[in-house]
Copies of this chain bind each other. A is one copy, B any other.
Amino acid sequence: MLDTFKKNIDKFAEVSNDEFEEIQKFFEIKNVAKKGNLLEEGQIPRHHYFVLSGLLRKFYINEKGIEQTTEFAIETWWMTDNIAYERKIASEFYIQAVEKSKILCITQEGQEKLVKAFPVMERYFRFVYQRAYAAAQMRIKYLYSLSKEDFYYQSIERYPEFAQRIPQYLLASYLGFTPEYLSEIRKKRIS
């Protein structure tokens, strides 16, 4: 199972098997049931999560009391409330398992000790954040430029496995649709 993590590191940085033996000691493995919460609004996020298997989502409760999903994370993706995690402040978000998931957890102190002990992991995390930042920038462009309908089409075309795997009502929440509106668009697309 930890192979998933080793392979992900290997994409960006060179870590020997012996080093990896030591690196994995900085992490805990956690099993999360479907709909289990890893983080809740008002909590200080203690961990940065790496998805070994399963699917997480991040959401907040908006002023209408509705869950607004802002992000998903599948295998090999990292997730936390980054600002609150770094500043050790209360989060405005929930992180929840959409499917039964297996997660690697590291604390902020643990992550800092890890990169000090294994500077090669600075390189790994530099790539992790660089990619995540680039993806967030594209996301912002789409939020400006695409209609909700086009954003939906773009999402299912670019990430077909992803769109199939995510329950429709969550995909609707991520896109800022009502589930009814999403179902209408889908019908239109098929017809």
A18 CB to nearest chain B CB (Å): 19
Complex contact A82–B137 (CB within 8 A): yes
For chain A, the count of residues having a C-beta within 8 Å of the partner chain is: 33
Q: Give the residues from 77 to 124 in chain A that come closer than 8 angstroms, CB to CB, to chain B.
A: 81-83, 86, 92, 115, 119, 122-123
The answer to the question of A176 belonging to the interface, with a C-beta cut-off of 8 Å to chain B, is yes
Within 8 A of B (CB), among A40-83: 60, 62-63, 68, 70-71, 81-83
On whether the beta carbons of A130 and B82 are closer than 8 Å, the reply is: yes
- A122: contacting residue among B81, B119, B139, CB under 8 A: B119
> Inside 8 A of A62's CB, which chain B residues have their CB?
144-145
A137 touches B138 (CB 8 A): no
If over half of A's interface residues share one DSSP class (helix, strand or loop), that class is named, otherwise mixed; here it is helix
Check B70–A144 contact: CB distance below 8 A.
yes
Given contacts A70-B140, A83-B138, A133-B82, contact A119 B123 (CB under 8 A): yes
Q: Is A156 among interface residues, defined by CB-CB distance under 8 A?
A: no
Q: How far is the CB of A13 from chain B (nearest CB, A)?
A: 9
9 shortest interchain CB distances as A-B pairs: A136-B136, A129-B129, A82-B134, A126-B126, A133-B133, A122-B122, A83-B134, A129-B130, A122-B123
